[in-house]
Every structure is written in C-alpha cells, then in structure tokens.
Structure 1
Amino acid sequence: MVGSLGPALQSVETLHLSSANLGAVASFYVVGAVVGALIFGWITDRHGRRFVFYVTLIVYLCGVFLSAFAWDFWSFAIFRMITGLGIGGEYAAINSAIDELIPAKYRGRVDLVVNGSFWLGAAGGALAVPFLLDQRLFAPDIGWRLGFGIGAILGLGILLLRRFVPESPRWLVTHGQNEKAEETVTEIEKGIAKAAGRYPPAPQESIEVHPKKSFGIGLILSSMIGKYRKRSILALTLMIAQSFLYNSVFFTFGLVLSHFYGVPSERIGLYLLPLAIGNFCGPLFLGTLFDTVGRKAMIAGTFAISGLLLLITAYLFAAGFLTPVTQTLAWFSIFFFASAAASSAYLTVSEIFPLETRALAIACFYALGTAIGGSTSPLLFGWLIESGSAWRVSAGYALAAGLLLIAAGAELMLGIDAEGKSLESIADPLSS
C-alpha cells in the first residue's frame, strides 16, 4: 500500500513529498526495521518467541496508526520508522517459531509459504488503493490516511490469533522450563492422535542439554563469527541481495510508473497487484521442491534465474521496449522466482545456526542485509528516478541483478543441505 500511495503523497493536497523524500521515508522505515530486528532478536532469544509476538505487533500497530495522522515529511518518516521497529522484530520471532515447531520433512515448504503469505496482504493493499484514492469517494487528503487506518484495524485482529501459537518447546527446554515444554509437546501429540488415530512414533535419537536462563551475547556472537563463519558469510550475502532488490523495486515502482509511463496515481495499485500475486505464487508452487530437490539447488537456482531475468528487463526498460503492462509482466516473472529466493534466505539463516542464537542470528543478518542493501536502495533509486534517465534507473536494476547472481554463487559454494534434517543435526545447540 505504501508503494502504491507514493505518487499520491507528492500532491500539494496531501504531504507534498518529492521523489527523494519518498526514498528517504522508505530508508527511515528500513532503519527502524534494522534497529527493531536487533533489539527484539536479542529479546526473543532471551525471553521467548511467544512473548515477542505480542510486543512487536503492538509496536507495529502504533506506527501504522500514527502514520495516518502525519502532517509533513518528518512526522511521516518518524512514524514509518516506528512501524519498521515492529516489523524488524517480527521477522526474528516468527521465523524462529516456524522452524522450531514444524517437522523437518515439511520445514522448507512451510517456511516459504508462511513468508510468502506476506504478499497476500500486499495484494489486498494494491486492490484497496484505487478505491482509497478515488476522489469521488474521499477527499485527496483523507483516502491515503484511511489506508493506514485499515492496516491498524487488521493488525488488531492478528493480536487475537496470536494466542493459538505455543511457545517453542526447544526454547523452553534450553532455558530450564522442562515442564512447560512437556505440556506443549503433549498437547501437540494429542492433536496428532485425534487427527491420525494414533500417537506419533517415539523419537530414536536424543541429545543432552544443560539449560540456562540466558546465554551470554559473547558466546552467541563468537559461535557466529568463529565456528560458523562461512555460514555467516552465506547468510549475509543472501540477505543483502534480496533486501536490495525488494526495497529498490517495491518502494519505487509506483514512481517509475508515474514518471516514465504517466500512469495516474489512482491506477498504480492495479499494476502492483500482479507483482504481489507473483510473489505469493513463487513460494507456493516452488516450496515443495526445497524439501525434495534440496536446499542448495533450489536456493542457487531461484537467485540465479531472477538475476538473469532482471538483467534482461533492465535493458528492455532502458531501451524503451516496455509498456506499463509488459513491465508489470516482466516483474511478475522475476518475482515468481525472487520471492522463493528471498524466503529461502530467511529459511537458511533460521536453520544453520544453533538454537540459542536462532532469533539473534535472523535479526543480525536481517539487520546487516537490510542496512547495507535495503536502506541504501530506496535513496539510490529515488535519486535515479528524479534524474529522469531510464538508463540510470536501468543501471540500478543491473546492480540488483549482479547481487542476485553473486548470492547464487555463494549458495553453490557455501550452502548447507538441510532438507529433511533436524535442526540439532544441522547445528549443535550451544547447551548440548
């Protein structure tokens, strides 16, 4: 919705923002997400996944609600930064919980589909924008504010749904709460027995852990840059590539449509809708292959294909061969593969580090990848678009494609075959 509303916010009747202002607002949001990921990632490992679910969602709701009442560039930028704080924390808590609660056989596809479900919301936002910007229904300075208000209302509903997600038994055991872990597992097994008519078979393997209430930050970081140094390089490379691509395109595609194709503000959401659908369909249809064909082949393949398609699209755009429709179709094709690649980056980080570092690892690499790739790309593309040169914008797309291809190479060299394996066999817990 924010990407769709961008051109409308340039009007003198709304916030009167420039393209550079919109790029800066996106960067404020990204900075908030980076800080939120680091703060809440540490809290998630220390106080549990379930607790942070509620805190991060409340912070996000506050940011979205306040955004509806912004009156100038600085107020809008600060409120978007608060929104980012909540979103950054969500990534760490949610991806940790997914991997620790889903069976190894299905972990890859479930992780990709849950991360990809983000784009169902994006599709809804894209559909809502033409309605919100219709001046026959709402005044120019009212419709965009209602968009943020709707986001806050939807978030309140999610607060109620969160109570159905249990705390991770793995986290409970390593933090000395064995009884609660047993209760959670017992409830899960009862549900399986009721559905399948029998209890699941007893596990054949065991591991001894030495619980602690908390694990020192020094121990956590030393494992990431010591024993798991190569995995850290891989994780950072994947995160930078996907973050640069997504933040550069989705915060500025509305500006490209407006500046280079003359698409009216109220119709931009209709062009973003196919992109959102492509982003959801990629993980949905390719997710199973990450568990069957394997992580390394699929992660490298999706990054490489999206990078090559982006190079072709960059040239066609600069040469003037594309229309708004064909440009949108090109993005649909790119993001069908790029969305699976981006989701697999979060899957990779959440699988290849020890249990006690999982949320902080996700947070650190999300923060670093977003700080390096995500916070710079909206500013860069805001400047490139304002220059009015299609070739300059194309050069930015080519840079994003190069990063995707580098990520594919890093996965081939450093990737881990994690499909079908328990998390503890991929990385020994620090408490074992």
Structure 2
Amino acid sequence: MAGVQTGTITTDIPARLDRLPWSRFHWLVVIGLGTVWILDGLEVTIVGSMSDALKDGTTGLGMSSFDVGLAGAIYVAGACIGALFFGQLTDKLGRKKLFLITLAVYTVATVLTAFSMNPMWYFACRFLTGAGIGGEYAAINSAIDELIPKKYRGRVDVAINGSFWVGAAGGSLLTIPLLDPTLIDAEWGWRLAFGLGAILAVGILIVRRNVPESPRWLFIHGREDEGEKIVKDIEHTVEGQSGSLPEPEDGTITVRQRKTISLVLIAKTVFTLYPKRTVLCFSLFVAQAFLYNAFFFTYGDTLGTFMDVKQTGYYIAIFAVSNFCGALLLSRLFDTVGRVKMIAGTYLISGVGLAIAGMMLGSLTAVTLTMFGAAIFFFASAGASAAYLTASEVFPMETRALCIAFFYAIGTAVGGITGPLLFGSLIENASASKDITGIAIGYFIGAALMIVGGIVAIVFGVHAEGESLENIATPLTAEDADVEGGGPGTEKEKQPSPA
C-alpha cells in the first residue's frame, strides 16, 4: 500500500462544477462523448437489418438464423468483457485516456468486420467491436456525470443514452440502398455498411480530443492542480457566454488523495455497503438488456422470416425514431418528476405493453407489430437509459466507471447474451411453420423482467434528482467517509476507510 495515499486536500471543485449554467462547453461534452451511443445503435441496427444479406452463401457469409443470433450474443459478450476490462482502467488511469482508447478499439474492429471472409472472422470482429463499445460505456457515462451540472444530469444522461436510436434509425435507412442489389453489388453492400461506422468514429474522435479530463477524478488522484486549472478554464468559458456565475451551493469536501483504489475496497463498497442499490442496478440492467437485445437484435429476422418483408430498414427506422423520441421527450421528467417515479413507471408500462403484444402476436402484421413496438419502446427507451444513469450516480466516485461496467456486464450477460440466443433459436424452430406465435415466450419473459425491474425501482430506488454526486454517495476517500453518509435515498450505511 506504500505510495498509494498522497495527501489530504479540501476542495470546492464539485460545487463549482454543479453550479454552472448550461453553456457551449456542456454541448461539447454531449457531442464529444454522447455520440458513442449513435455508434452502438448503428452497429446493432446494421446487423439486425442485414440478416438476409449475411445468410446468402454467395454474396454473404452463409449464416443461419441461429448464427445471426449467435453473432449478436458474441457482440454483447465482447461488450461485457470490454466494459469490465476498460472500466477498471478508467477508474485507475482516468476518463479521458480510456474514452480515446476505447473509441480507437471500436474503429479498428469495425473496419476489420467489413473484410470478413467467413463466419468465424465475423464473430471475432463482432467480439472486438463489442469490447470497444463496452469500454466506452464505462468511460463515457462516468465522465459525463462528473462534468454535467447536477440540475441537468438526469435529462442529459437519459437523452444521451437514448441517442442510440439516432444511430439505429440512420443505420436502418442506410442499409436500404446498401442492400439493394440494383444499386450496389450484393457482395459489397453489407461490407460498406460497416465501413460507415468507422468513418463516423473518426469524426467523433476529432471532437472528443477537446473534452477535458474529469476534475473530480484528478483531485482525488493527487492531481488537484490540473483539476483546478481545468475548472478555472471551464468557468472562464462559461462566464464569457452566460455572465456572472452564481455562488457554489454545496461547500467544500475534504479527501485523502490516493493514486489507486483496491478492487477489494470496490467490491466491499458495492456488495456490503450498498446492497439495495446493487439489487436495483442488477434488476434494471438485466431487464432492459434482455428486452432490447432479444427483441432488437432479431427484429429484422422476425419480419423477414414470418412476414416476408424484404426491406426491413423502413420498419426499424420507425421503431428507432419512437425510441429516441421517448428518451428525449421524457428525459426532463427524470429531473423534475423524479428518478424513482419515472424509472418505475417506464419499466412497468413497457412490461405490460410487451405482454399484451405477446398475446396478440398471431394477429399482428408487419405494420401493426412495428406500431405496437414503437408505442412500447417509447417508454422502454427512457427506462433503459435510466439504468445507466442510476449505476453511474449512486456509487462513490472512485468506483463509478467500474460499477457501470460491472452492472452492464453482469446484467447484459444474463439478459443480453441469453436473449439473442433464445430468440434466434425460437425463430429457427418456428420458421418452418411460419407461425410467429412460437416466439411469444420471448415476449413474455421480457415483459416479466421489465415489470420486476419496475417493482424493484419502487422499493429500492434512489431520489438522486438535483443532488450532487458527492451527496448521493460519499467518496471513499472523503475525510468523513468513516461516518454515515448522507444524501436522499442513501442506505445510511457506514463507509469503509480507504486507509
């Protein structure tokens, strides 16, 4: 442990960041960091829309419906492992280093996907692409929460996570001309689709280089001078745009600076000090991961197999637009109505709606199924986005990135890997008879998980709206970390001493 603890300081950096009015600097953060979700949406939708192109043995890779589902599961598995690996590095090495590295991993992997020669190459590239995206989740969500003022944190997080569907809509529409053999050779169309993701990633990388390191991370890790300089630069920029700044509301915090935080302490924090929050995050992540990965990874395959839809892009675009509108239009309510009411409400409404859709599945057409899905996922998208918001704000700062990674990985491993495999198998088994009701069991499982998630949110939800991150969960390095933590919705359990 020698050399780990570097000193004790008292700082007002969190309070100064939280009192800032919205400015162009915050738009830079949103554009530079939040656009990762657009990449993820583009990736998932391209794969979902091109299932028929990948199945062709001549121009594609000769994959079966099960292979398409397997590729989705492998992508999610890569994201889980990438989240855990890069999440730990994000807490140890800093937010900025990792959100540059993870974007580079994604870019290289998606380019390699375009050159796939057989299913095994394709599966390997999907794994690496997922690893890059999974690492992004941890680095990006932690950095956003630590740079965005507390008044706006909920709406920004939910809206940014909902921007996944901007990529989904764009990806679905792009696949229409790219998969039209009269416009582009069938052997090249699906490959070009992956290449477009890499082009977008390079553009994001250029913007992202201008986003600073989190001052909150810097002062805890013994680099308070750098953190102070960044905050002064931000204040100067914002003051020039908005006029005089208000006084900080939350005062100062005293911390024992440390260069590293042990994994043992992190594990103790999650499982021993915050068991209710652990159950909450696990429930939310499992439910939304199963719902989205099961339904959306295989939606194009469902339309093509049971409803003879040749161009699924239009249907998926409508579905995606509804999801984005839901996250965007409902996001403000997470700061005004409150976290608990909104998370519980969105999960319960979407769960009940999905159950009804499962019961009506045999009588739905491609159009009515898409309309049904658009209505259900208008609410589900905001709820799913709030799962990431919850994991990123209810645990101490030193563990933030790894906690996001942990719950994403565990929840997604349970719901996101089993979902595509289950749906792929259900579609395969029901395809011979063309009986779509054979996949209804998947709808019912997803509905049950969402309803359970909503109930858990009612029981264990944290009222984090309008509160500073340090008040929601006292940093492990805080001088008073050995006394009971405060903040609304906290579990009032004793914090461990990091010494």
Query: Shorter-chain TM-score: what band?
Result: over 0.9
Query: Quick one: distance in 2 between partners of 1:7 and 1:311?
Result: 28
TM-score by length of 1: 0.98
Match of 1:151 in 2: 197
3-state secondary structure, aligned to 1:199: coil
Match of 1:278 in 2: 322
Match of 2:66 in 1: 20
1:386 aligns with 2:428: yes
In the TM superposition, what whole-angstrom CA distance separates every residue of 1:57-104 from its partner, at most 9, and x where no partner exists? 011011110110111111111100000000000000111011111111
1:203 Cα deviation from its structure 2 partner: 4.0
From 396, 405, 413, the equivalent of 1:363 is 405
Match of 2:491 in 1: none
1:292 aligns with 2:324: no
* Moved >4 Å (runs of 4+): none
1:6 Cα deviation from its structure 2 partner: 1.3
Q: Give 1:56's aligned amino acid.
A: T
Q: How many residue pairs align between the two structures?
A: 428
Match of 2:380 in 1: 338
Match of 2:353 in 1: 309
In the TM superposition, what whole-angstrom CA distance separates every residue of 1:2-33 from its partner, at most 9, and x where no partner exists? 11111221112211100011111111111100
Which structure 1 residue ranges, 5 or more long, are not aligned? none
In the TM superposition, what whole-angstrom CA distance separates every residue of 1:231-272 from its partner, at most 9, and x where no partner exists? 1111011000000011001110011001110001xx111110
From 155, 158, 161, the equivalent of 1:109 is 155
Report % sequence identity. 50
Q: Which has the higher helix share?
A: 1
Match of 1:2 in 2: 47
Match of 1:401 in 2: 447
The 8 Å contact of residues 190 and 199 in structure 1, kept in 2 or not, is answered as no
Match of 1:215 in 2: 261
3-state secondary structure, aligned to 1:214: coil
1:121 aligns with 2:167: yes
3-state secondary structure, aligned to 2:116: coil
The 8 Å contact of residues 193 and 200 in structure 1, kept in 2 or not, is answered as no
Q: Identify which range, 199-208 or 344-353, moves more after superposition.
A: 199-208
Match of 2:365 in 1: 323
From 174, 181, 187, the equivalent of 1:135 is 181
The 8 Å contact of residues 132 and 146 in structure 1, kept in 2 or not, is answered as yes
Q: Give 1:426's aligned amino acid.
A: I
Query: Quick one: distance in 1 between partners of 2:250 and 2:477?
Result: 20
Match of 1:34 in 2: 80
- Residues 188-227 of structure 1: matches in 2 within 5 Å? 188-227=234-273
Match of 1:76 in 2: 122
Q: Give 1:11's aligned amino acid.
A: D
Query: Quick one: distance in 2 between partners of 1:100 and 1:211?
Result: 17
CA RMSD of aligned residues (A): 0.9
Q: Give 2:341's aligned amino acid.
A: A
Change (3 A) 1:204 1:74: closer
Query: Quick one: distance in 2 between partners of 1:101 and 1:239?
Result: 24
Query: Quick one: distance in 1 between partners of 2:146 and 2:392?
Result: 9
Change (3 A) 1:202 1:411: closer
1:377 aligns with 2:422: no
Which structure 2 residue ranges, 5 or more long, are not aligned? 1-45, 479-499
Query: Quick one: distance in 1 between partners of 2:139 and 2:353?
Result: 33
Change (3 A) 1:248 1:204: closer
Q: Give 1:126's aligned amino acid.
A: S
The 8 Å contact of residues 344 and 453 in structure 2, kept in 1 or not, is answered as yes
Query: Quick one: distance in 1 between partners of 2:194 and 2:181?
Result: 17
In the TM superposition, what whole-angstrom CA distance separates every residue of 1:179-218 from its partner, at most 9, and x where no partner exists? 1110111111112211121133134421110111111111
Q: Identify which range, 197-206 or 348-357, moves more after superposition.
A: 197-206
In the TM superposition, what whole-angstrom CA distance separates every residue of 1:217-236 from its partner, at most 9, and x where no partner exists? 11111110001111111101
Q: Give 1:371's aligned amino acid.
A: A
Query: Quick one: distance in 1 between partners of 2:166 and 2:419?
Result: 24
